[in-house]
Amino acid sequence: MVKINENYQKLQGSYLFSTIAKKVGAYAEANPDRKIIRLGIGDVTRPLTPTIIKTLHNAVDEMADEKTFRGYAPDLGYDFLRKAVCDNDYRARGCAIEEDEIFISDGAKPDSGNIQEIFGNDNRIAVCDPVYPVYVDSNVMAGRAGDYVESTGRYSDILYLPCSAGNNFAPELPESECGLIYLCFPNNPTGMAITKDELQKWVDYANEHGSVIIFDAAYEAYISEENVPHSIYECDGAKTCAIELHSFSKNAGFTGLRLGYAVVPKELVRGGVSLNSLWARRHATKYNGAPYIVQRAGEAVYSPEGKKEIRGLVDFYMENASYILSGLKKAGYTVFGGVNSPYIWLATPDNMSSWDFFDHLLEDANVVGTPGVGFGSCGEGYFRLTAFGSHENTKEAVDRICRL
């Protein structure tokens, strides 16, 4: 008799966004006349920009011609894209990352779910609380999380790093040993960033303890303040302790196109083994490359026109973020994020629970957001709104919330 992976039985409910989709679906069905505005899932809404579209068409045409047709992509990504990433996201910022340290993938979500596979199952992992659920759930599936404890809403073997208004949503260094540390800054869900000096402390900690930091930089393009690092490799010594994950979803609008990359420096060695070689092996065995046409689109993101257009997308969403921030502040809400990030994190009013506030907003303002507690127990009493709507919808949603 085959045995299933019993760790899956420890997962709690279904994945956060599926639950929200079901709730919203039920409400919409029962109230077909209401116009629901979705500021919940972090999905972009602006179309792909002209340079990306043109590049996609060109690449599609290449696939139509025997002479330019492309079959299997190189396991780790096309050289043209690895070079563009390296030149623009690293060398231009003074980070000494090389092409063969870049691994092209179909997005930061798969990468952040899969990266734990190259580590042993007996590692203790540390995550911020609140946290992007994929870090936790992928480790639950692998058996690293221990048991779910109903009373705390946490897994017994995970080290949670509380992030709240009290510490300005910047976690303190762990007091007990942990092997793998997930950090995401600018943060999903809180929208808060940390300074280079603060991140340096984590790099020093990891190097001292032999830990590895998984640094999720998916929201890097939204950084507007000085002294907020765009890459962990801006910190001294990060190449010996950190893996960095990037996405083309939030800057260039590739959520439906799927492209991302991981940086695994060759200097990152544990137990005498290069993690770069482990990740390369994992890619070669369990993955088969991102589509050629999508990798060409990724390259176009770094062209002069592409950069200008992508800047326009980010600015568009950040205009929404400003509107949400200032509107909610004016209405008396306590709000965070929204300056270096498309996420606004608000304290629920009147000690409402996150899910009560979700229902309240859905039913009384027909606005969908994400309950903070869905991201961890420290998210209880908070609520996430995203800046990815249209100007019109965002404005209307904020106005509706302010009228509540």
Q: Is 201 in the site for a copy of itself (CB under 8 A)?
A: no
- Nearest one of 352, 332, 347 to 190, comparing CA atoms: 347
Q: Which listed range, 151-159, 164-172, 255-263, 367-375, lies at the site for a copy of itself (CB under 8 A)?
A: 255-263
Q: What is the DSSP string of 306-332?
A: HHHHHHHHHHHHHHHHHHHHHHHHHTT
Q: Contacts with a copy of itself in 131-160 (CB under 8 A)?
A: 133-134, 137-138, 141, 143
Q: Contacts with a copy of itself in 307-366 (CB under 8 A)?
A: none
- Residue 143, φ and ψ in degrees, nearest 5: 95, 15
> Shortest gap between Cβ of 143 and a copy of itself (angstroms)?
8
Strand partners, 215: 183, 244
Q: Which of 43, 99, 198, 396 binds a copy of itself (CB under 8 A)?
A: 43
Burial of 148 (0-12, 13-18, 19+ CB in 10 A): middle
Q: Which of 167, 168, 227, 288 binds a copy of itself (CB under 8 A)?
A: 288
d(CA 324, CA 291): 36
Q: Contacts with a copy of itself in 211-230 (CB under 8 A)?
A: 211-212
d(CA 356, CA 338): 23
Residue pair 183/217 in contact (Cβ under 8 Å)? The answer is: no
Q: Is 123 in the site for a copy of itself (CB under 8 A)?
A: yes
Q: Which of 131, 145, 203, 293 binds a copy of itself (CB under 8 A)?
A: 293
Cβ-based nearer residue to a copy of itself, 245 or 325: 245
Q: Is 168 in the site for a copy of itself (CB under 8 A)?
A: no
Q: Which listed range, 65-73, 159-167, 301-309, 327-335, lies at the site for a copy of itself (CB under 8 A)?
A: 65-73
Q: Is 121 in the site for a copy of itself (CB under 8 A)?
A: yes
CB crowding 228-255: b at 16 or more within 10 Å, else e: bbbbbbbbeebbebbbbbbbbbbbbbbb
Q: What is the DSSP string of 173-218?
A: PPSS--SEEEEESS-TTT-----HHHHHHHHHHHHHHT-EEEEE-T
Residue pair 277/267 in contact (Cβ under 8 Å)? The answer is: no
Cβ-based nearer residue to a copy of itself, 265 or 327: 265
Q: Is 306 in the site for a copy of itself (CB under 8 A)?
A: no
d(CA 347, CA 337): 12
Cβ-based nearer residue to a copy of itself, 177 or 363: 177
> Shortest gap between Cβ of 44 and a copy of itself (angstroms)?
6
Q: Is 381 in the site for a copy of itself (CB under 8 A)?
A: no
Q: Is 271 in the site for a copy of itself (CB under 8 A)?
A: yes
Q: Which of 262, 290, 321, 387 binds a copy of itself (CB under 8 A)?
A: 290
Cis status, amide bond into 130, omega within 30 of 0: yes
Cβ-based nearer residue to a copy of itself, 155 or 333: 155
Contacts with 215 (C-beta within 8 Å, 6 or more apart), sequence order: 183, 184, 185, 232, 238, 242, 243, 244, 245
Q: Is 45 in the site for a copy of itself (CB under 8 A)?
A: yes
Q: Which listed range, 60-68, 91-99, 151-159, 218-226, lies at the site for a copy of itself (CB under 8 A)?
A: 60-68
Q: Is 282 in the site for a copy of itself (CB under 8 A)?
A: yes
Q: Is 25 in the site for a copy of itself (CB under 8 A)?
A: no
Q: Is 8 in the site for a copy of itself (CB under 8 A)?
A: yes
Q: Is 161 in the site for a copy of itself (CB under 8 A)?
A: no
Q: Which listed range, 10-18, 153-161, 232-240, 323-331, lies at the site for a copy of itself (CB under 8 A)?
A: 10-18
Q: Which of 29, 32, 33, 71 binds a copy of itself (CB under 8 A)?
A: 71
Q: Is 209 in the site for a copy of itself (CB under 8 A)?
A: yes
| Tokens representing residue 283 in the block | 């890619």
Q: Is 35 in the site for a copy of itself (CB under 8 A)?
A: no
Q: Contacts with a copy of itself in 82-111 (CB under 8 A)?
A: 106-107, 109-110
d(CA 398, CA 361): 11
* Torsion on CA atoms 232, 236, 242, 247, rounded to nearest 10: 20
- Residue 261, φ and ψ in degrees, nearest 5: -155, 155
Q: Which listed range, 56-64, 298-306, 320-328, 355-363, lies at the site for a copy of itself (CB under 8 A)?
A: 56-64
Q: Is 173 in the site for a copy of itself (CB under 8 A)?
A: no
Q: What is the DSSP string of 244-293?
A: EEEESHHHH-GGGT--EEEE--TT-EETTEEHHHHHHHHHHHH-----HH
Q: Is 266 in the site for a copy of itself (CB under 8 A)?
A: no
